[in-house]
């Protein structure tokens, strides 16, 4: 009879050997520099995470920028801005192109620096010296001047809110030469110089007039420009009705403090805005941001508004694809997932944790694919009963309430193997910092268990969604394994394409490489 132990050993030798250590000093597979850069750009926030400080993340990204070519840096910046809705990292990558005097800078700048907040981010990063220079330089200065001289009145007003640097600081740095009289008057007003009031733009005129006479109509300016003034509850209600979707979501408690919800019809109007599918799509909102608003809503926020946020979450996740076949979703609920999803930012730290995002992804996939099995894991798989008919918010809260324990990424696969279960697609949502199942040599436990699973399910595919940037994975990239970072709806689209066999051999990095700059 054949020596089965011998053949098992030979089989294990054919598996890819782990080639790096993760932050828990456990075996892992290093992603390529291109894949690492994409992962940091899609999930990084330049704030401290569970495993890495903001400085460490910045150093890693800048190091990676030296290891990859400028076109890929540009493609990553555009991809993560336009499809991942990221802010800090795309601005940093654009600044890195400026520091390297790359030919791709002008085209990248126009795609990434598409509002005043991004412009100020870009200037702040360049002036910090992080990318090797503290002066703006001729070409970046011309790009900034062009943005200032082409932005609309509303875009300039929106950009004027915020500091470090303020838009006034930027104007003083680059000295734009406007062709229009209204723009010249606006810049002079912005930096505190004498200006021609008759030539100033209409909204600025209305703002200055309102400061003198509160009986006039409320000017259509960013509400932050009005908060220093004494406003009635009626004025605050008008601000809420005029405001964009994201602004309203972020200021529900502010409106409650100013008595907005006490006025007839206003609660219904704001709830209708929050439920507006077109407005949600235009806002490019992350589902976790809606969860953050729901969790942060104080006692003064009416039940109708809370229900509208739940509806908004369902709408934001309505494009999660239905995938053919049997799915298994494995959300990581270990202790390391307690880190804030956007990193530690002092008093501004988000209440939404990585575990909340993992739970949201799992709950959303369950809603679109009701036959899905959900296997939350920490040290081992944790039992959690979910009803596909419940709201995404309810199921996400059930999953996120587990929490704690070490990380064992192979545990769900080990359980599936023990039960001799079948599936077509297995999806992990994790920080991939597995250590409970650390092996002494050879492949990671996750790859070893996946290989056993594949013997029963030869057509099965594995997806590892990383929601925190670390540069390694527990399952190395290959034809049947996809590693992807981020938590925008683009992630769901990539998973659906992978499941349908529509991605090229380069998978996610290939998608980024296909971006036209």
Query: For the segment 208-228, what is each residue's pLDDT rounded down to a tens digit?
Result: 999 999 889 999 999 889 888
- Pair (400, 480) in one structural domain: yes
Q: Give a yes or no: residue 11 inside a domain.
A: no
Whole-angstrom CA distances from 94 to 89, 97, 331 are 9, 5, 33
Q: Does 258 fall in a domain?
A: yes
Question: Residue 172: inside a domain, yes or no?
Answer: yes
Residue 1 confidence (pLDDT) above 50: no
Same domain? For 263 and 365 the reply is no
**CA-based nearest residue to 179, from 138, 142, 150:** 150
pLDDT tens column, 263-296: 999 999 999 999 999 999 888 888 888 988 998 9
Residues 83 and 181 in one domain: yes
One domain for residues 52 and 200 = yes
Burial of residue 24, with CB atoms counted within 10 A of its CB: 0-12 exposed, 13-18 middle, 19 or more buried: middle
Cβ–Cβ under 8 Å, residues 287 and 314 = no
| Same domain, yes or no: 57 and 134 | yes
pLDDT at 8: 47
3's CB contacts (< 8 A; 6+ apart) are: none
Q: Name the residue among 138, 135, 80 with its Cα closest to residue 111.
A: 80
Are 450 and 436 within one domain?
yes
Nearest CA among 105, 138, 142, 144 for reference residue 124: 144
Residues 240, 230 within the same domain: no
Which whole number is the average pLDDT over 369-391?
91
Task: Provide DSSP, 24-35.
Answer: TS-EEEEPPHHH
Confidence of residue 368 (pLDDT cuts 50, 70, 90): confident
The total number of structural domains in the chain stands at: 3
454: CATH: 3.40.50.410
Residues 352-356 have a mean pLDDT of 86
Which of these three, 275, 297, 316, is where a domain ends? 316
- Residue 10's pLDDT is what? 39
Which pTM value belongs to this model? 0.89
In the sheet that holds 27-30, the strands lie side by side as: 20-21, 27-30, 472-473
Q: Is the pLDDT of residue 326 over 60?
A: yes
In a domain, 465, yes or no: yes
DSSP E strands in 282-371: the ranges are: 327-331
Q: Do 135 and 269 belong to one domain?
A: no
Residue 426: partners with Cβ closer than 8 Å, 6 or more residues away:
327, 328, 330, 412, 413, 416, 450, 453, 460, 461, 462, 463
Q: Is 300 within the bounds of a domain?
A: yes
Tell me: do 200 and 265 sit in the same domain.
Answer: no
pLDDT at 370: 86
Which string of b and e fits 371-393 if b means at least 16 CB within 10 Å? ebbbbbbbeebbebebeeeebbb
Q: What is the pLDDT of residues 58-78, one digit of tens each?
A: 899 999 999 999 999 999 999
Domain presence at residue 9: no
How far is residue 168's CA from residue 166's CA, in Å, rounded to a whole number? Answer: 5
Rounded percentage of the chain residues whose pLDDT exceeds 70? 95
Report yes or no on 278 lying in a domain: yes
Q: Which residues pair with 428 in a beta bridge?
A: 330, 464
List strands edge to edge, sheet with 327-331. 373-374, 327-331, 425-430, 461-466, 481-485
Tell me which long-range contacts 123-129 makes (C-beta under 8 A, separation of at least 24): 123/165, 123/169, 123/170, 123/173, 124/164, 124/165, 125/91, 125/92, 125/95, 126/95, 126/98, 126/99, 127/165
Asked if the bond preceding 465 is cis, omega within 30° of 0, the reply is: no
Domain endpoint, select from 204, 235, 266: 235
Same domain flag for 504 and 361? yes
For 465-486, b where at least 16 C-beta lie within 10 A, e where not — what string? bbbbbbbbbbbbbeebbbbbbb
Q: In this predicted structure, what is the pLDDT of residue 5?
A: 46
- CB count within 10 Å of CB 398 equals 18
339: left (phi over 0), alpha (psi -120 to 50) or beta: beta
Structure confidence by residue, pLDDT tens digits, 10-33:
354 579 999 999 988 999 999 999
Domain end: 316, 334, 361, which one? 316
Q: What is the pLDDT of residue 6?
A: 40
Asked whether residue 343 carries a pLDDT value surpassing 80, the answer given is no
Mean pLDDT of the chain: 90
Q: Going by DSSP bridges, is the β-strand pair 472-473/481-485 parallel, antiparallel, or unpaired?
A: unpaired
**pLDDT at residue 175 is higher than 80:** yes
Determine the length of the chain: 517
Using the predicted structure, report yes or no on whether residue 41 has a pLDDT greater than 50: yes
CB atoms within 10 A of CB 493: 15
pLDDT tens readout for residues 104-122: 999 999 999 999 999 999 9
> Is residue 126 very low, low, confident or very high in pLDDT (cuts 50, 70, 90)?
very high
d(CA 103, CA 70): 8
Is 141 inside any structural domain?
yes
Same structural domain, 335 and 471: yes
- Domain assignment of residue 244, given as a range: 236-283+285-316
Q: Are residues 392 and 408 in the same domain?
A: yes
Instruction: Compute the distance between CA of residue 8 and CA of residue 190 in angstroms, rounded to an integer.
Output: 73
């Amino acid at each position: 009879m054949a020596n089965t132990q011998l053949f098992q050993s030979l089989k294990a030798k054919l598996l890819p050997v782990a080639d790096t250590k993760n932050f828990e000093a456990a075996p892992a597979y290093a992603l390529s520099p291109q894949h690492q850069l994409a992962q940091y750009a899609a999930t990084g926030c330049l704030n401290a995470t569970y495993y890495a400080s903001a400085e460490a993340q910045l150093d890693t990204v800048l190091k990676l920028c030296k290891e990859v070519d400028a076109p890929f840096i540009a493609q990553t910046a555009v991809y993560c801005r336009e499809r991942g809705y990221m802010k800090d990292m795309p601005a940093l990558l654009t600044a890195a192109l400026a520091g390297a005097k790359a030919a791709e800078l002008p085209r990248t700048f126009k795609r990434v620096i598409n509002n005043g907040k991004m412009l100020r981010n870009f200037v702040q990063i360049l002036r910090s010296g992080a990318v090797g220079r503290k002066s703006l330089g001729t070409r970046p200065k011309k790009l900034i001047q062009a943005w200032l001289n082409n932005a609309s009145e509303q875009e300039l007003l929106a950009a004027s809110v915020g500091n470090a640097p303020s838009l006034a600081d930027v104007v003083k740095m680059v000295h734009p030469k406007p062709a229009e009289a209204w723009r010249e008057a606006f810049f002079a007003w912005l930096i505190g110089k004498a200006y021609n009031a008759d030539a100033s733009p209409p909204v600025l005129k209305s703002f200055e007039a309102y400061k003198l006479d509160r009986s006039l109509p409320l000017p259509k300016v960013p509400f932050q420009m009005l908060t220093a003034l004494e406003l009635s509850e009626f004025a605050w209600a008008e601000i809420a009705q005029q405001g964009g979707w994201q602004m309203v979501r972020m200021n529900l408690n502010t409106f409650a403090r100013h008595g907005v919800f006490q006025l007839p019809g206003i609660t219904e109007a704001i709830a209708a805005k929050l439920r507006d599918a077109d407005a949600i799509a235009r806002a490019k909102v992350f589902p976790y941001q809606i969860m953050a608003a729901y969790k942060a809503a104080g006692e003064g926020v009416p039940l109708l508004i809370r229900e509208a946020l739940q509806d908004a979450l369902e709408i934001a996740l309505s494009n999660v694809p239905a995938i053919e076949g049997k799915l298994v979703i494995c959300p990581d609920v270990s202790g390391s997932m307690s880190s804030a999803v956007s990193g530690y930012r002092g008093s501004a730290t988000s209440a939404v944790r990585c575990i909340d995002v993992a739970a949201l992804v799992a709950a959303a996939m369950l809603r679109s694919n009701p036959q899905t099995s959900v296997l939350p894991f920490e040290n081992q798989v944790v039992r959690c009963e979910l009803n596909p008919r419940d709201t995404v918010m309810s199921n996400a809260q059930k999953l996120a309430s587990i929490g704690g324990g070490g990380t064992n990424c192979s545990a769900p696969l080990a359980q599936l193997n023990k039960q001799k279960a079948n599936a077509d697609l297995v999806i992990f949502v994790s920080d991939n910092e597995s250590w409970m199942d650390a092996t002494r040599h050879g492949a990671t436990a996750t790859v070893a268990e996946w290989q056993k699973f594949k013997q029963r399910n030869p057509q099965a595919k594995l997806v590892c969604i990383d929601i925190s940037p670390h540069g390694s994975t527990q399952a190395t990239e290959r034809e049947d394994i996809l590693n992807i970072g981020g938590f925008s709806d683009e992630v769901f689209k990539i998973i659906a394409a992978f499941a349908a066999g529509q991605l090229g051999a380069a998978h996610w990095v290939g998608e980024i490489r296909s971006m036209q700059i």
